[in-house]
Amino acid sequence: MVKEKNKFLLMLITFAACFYLPVELLPFRNPVFEALALVRWYAREHVLLCLVPAFFIAGAISVFVSQASVIKYFGAKANKFLAYTVASVSGTILAVCSCTVLPLFSGIYKRGAGLGPATAFLYSGPAINVLAIIMTARILGWQLGLARAVGAVVFSVVIGLLMHFIFIKEEHARKIENDLAVEDNKAIRPLAQNAVYFASMVGFLVFANWAKPQAGDSGLWVLIFGVKWYLAAGFLIATLIMLSKWFNKTEIKEWVQSAWTFAKQIMPLLLLGVIVAGLLLGRPGHEGLIPSWIIEKAVGGNSLLSNFFAAIAGAFMYFATLTEVPILQGLIGSGMGKGPALALLLAGPALSLPNMLVIRGIIGTKKTLTYVSLVVAMATISGILFGVIVK
């Protein structure tokens, strides 16, 4: 117990150091500065309202969702149409970034979800963001918006199916292991209560991170943004009331311990990945070790190389939710082709260097390399085809 407290204290000190980094006072402006500035921005904008709620949701999946239920709906014997449909459209509800989705992916995978549906969920969570698709259509053109929407849904299903078939032998062995390990679950509380409880936590995650509308926007999105904190507070209060009414102290303790386990596994790798990404690529509008002019020059036209480079660059860069659109707007203004733009849109939001480091810790090096390669290859091919169609 003392050891865990020390780990928590160390993590808290590290987070506070990142949160309060006095980067403005540093006497240099170079990639090291960009790395520190990016990690401070990440600590301030994504840890407390994105990752911490995601850790608690993942912990709740691990503790309160029976392994039998996960295997029933996402395992090897599950209805494939239902499993992949739910996994592929999850991003329309969650609207999370490539890092916030990781605890949720880890939670369902470790509870017995098949590799295929789990990776479909992993891709779709950050890729199928309704507002991002609308912004893409409005700012970059309806053709890119439509191609992004269709491509993201198709990608999630195809990548999930390919991951399943590529590793089918390992999945079969894992299925046997899960069948032997799965408990005879008797629900502690009604399914409806669990559903409302999870919906309340997801509601807090969604509304606490509701993105600021663009200038000139109107309608429902603007209305919700104006009351986002009231909605988030309402969901948080509802969650706390449910915890006090429906859960005992032992369950709550297990839930917190499970969330802490996910935090220990994921947070150090994420912060390390953010620092390295900032060092190499800088922040939007700022230079890292790789000058932005190299990227701009490499993504012109619609060649195989330009599409591949766009997909690779997108895969390693870190995009917060919605930031990919203004970044692409600038790149297109500098001569980026429509094909490479789509390639970056399909690879970028779903992947990042921090994301890859954590995925490796969950499913291993071989599966991670395969997943990243599939995303990059499919994004490259899609970019080439789109460039040919819209030129």
> One-letter amino acid identity for 108?
I
**pLDDT at residue 261 is higher than 70:** yes
3-state secondary structure of 91: helix
- Amino acid at position 363, single letter: I
> Radius of gyration of the chain from Cα atoms?
21
Closest CA to 326 of 304, 348, 307: 348
Instruction: Tell me the Ramachandran region of residue 25: left when phi exceeds 0, alpha when psi lies from -120 to 50, beta otherwise.
Output: alpha
pLDDT band at 64 (very low <50, low <70, confident <90, very high): confident
Confidence check: pLDDT of 174 > 80 = no
3-state helix, strand, coil in the chain (%, to 5): 75, 0, 20
Q: Structural domain boundaries of the chain?
A: 38-390
Span 82-140, pLDDT tens digits: 888 887 777 666 666 777 788 888 888 887 788 888 898 889 878 777 767 777 887 78
pLDDT band at residue 183 using 50, 70 and 90 as cut-offs? low
Q: Among candidates 323, 359, 330, which has minimal Cα distance to 129?
A: 323
Q: What is the pLDDT of residue 184?
A: 47
| Amino acid at the residue 45 | E
Q: Model confidence at 378, in pLDDT bands (50, 70, 90)?
A: very high
Residue 186's pLDDT band (boundaries 50, 70, 90)?
very low
Burial 248-285 (b: 16+ CB within 10 A, else e): eeebeebbeebbbbbbebbbbbbbebbbbbbbbbbbbe
Query: Of residues 142 and 381, which shows the higher confidence score?
Result: 381
Q: Give strand pairing partners of 300.
A: 336
pLDDT at 218 over 90: no
H helix intervals, 96-218: 101-110, 115-127, 130-140, 142-166, 168-181, 191-208
Which whole number is the average pLDDT over 163-190?
Answer: 69
Cβ contacts of residue 360 below 8 Å, gap of 6+?
A: 368
CA distance 171 to 384: 33
- Res 285: pLDDT: 67
DSSP-derived secondary structure letter, 300 = B
For residue range 226-251, what is the model confidence (pLDDT) as tens digits? 899 999 999 999 999 998 888 888 88
pLDDT at residue 290 greater than cutoff 80: no
SS3 60: helix
Enumerate residues 6+ apart whose C-beta is below 8 A from 87: 74, 117, 118, 120, 121, 124, 156, 160
Classify burial at 167, counting beta carbons within 10 Å of its beta carbon; exposed 0-12, middle 13-18, buried 19 or more.
Answer: buried
**pLDDT above 70: residue 31:** yes
State yes or no: pLDDT of 42 exceeds 50: yes
What three-state secondary structure class fits 306?
helix
- The answer for 52, left when phi > 0, alpha when psi is -120 to 50, beta otherwise, is alpha
> Greater confidence, 188 or 107?
107
Q: Which residues contact 179 (CB under 8 A, 6 or more apart)?
A: 71
336, β-bridge pairs = 300
The CA-based diameter of the chain, rounded to the nearest angstrom, is 63
In this model, does residue 326 exceed pLDDT 90?
Answer: no
In a 3-state reduction of DSSP, which class is residue 323?
coil
The C-alpha atoms of residue 343 and residue 308 are separated, in whole angstroms, by: 8
* Residue keyed to tokens 């926007």: 217
How many Å apart are CA 372 and CA 352, to the nearest integer? 10
Mean pLDDT over residues 51-66, rounded?
81
pLDDT on residue 377: 94
pLDDT value for 198 = 87
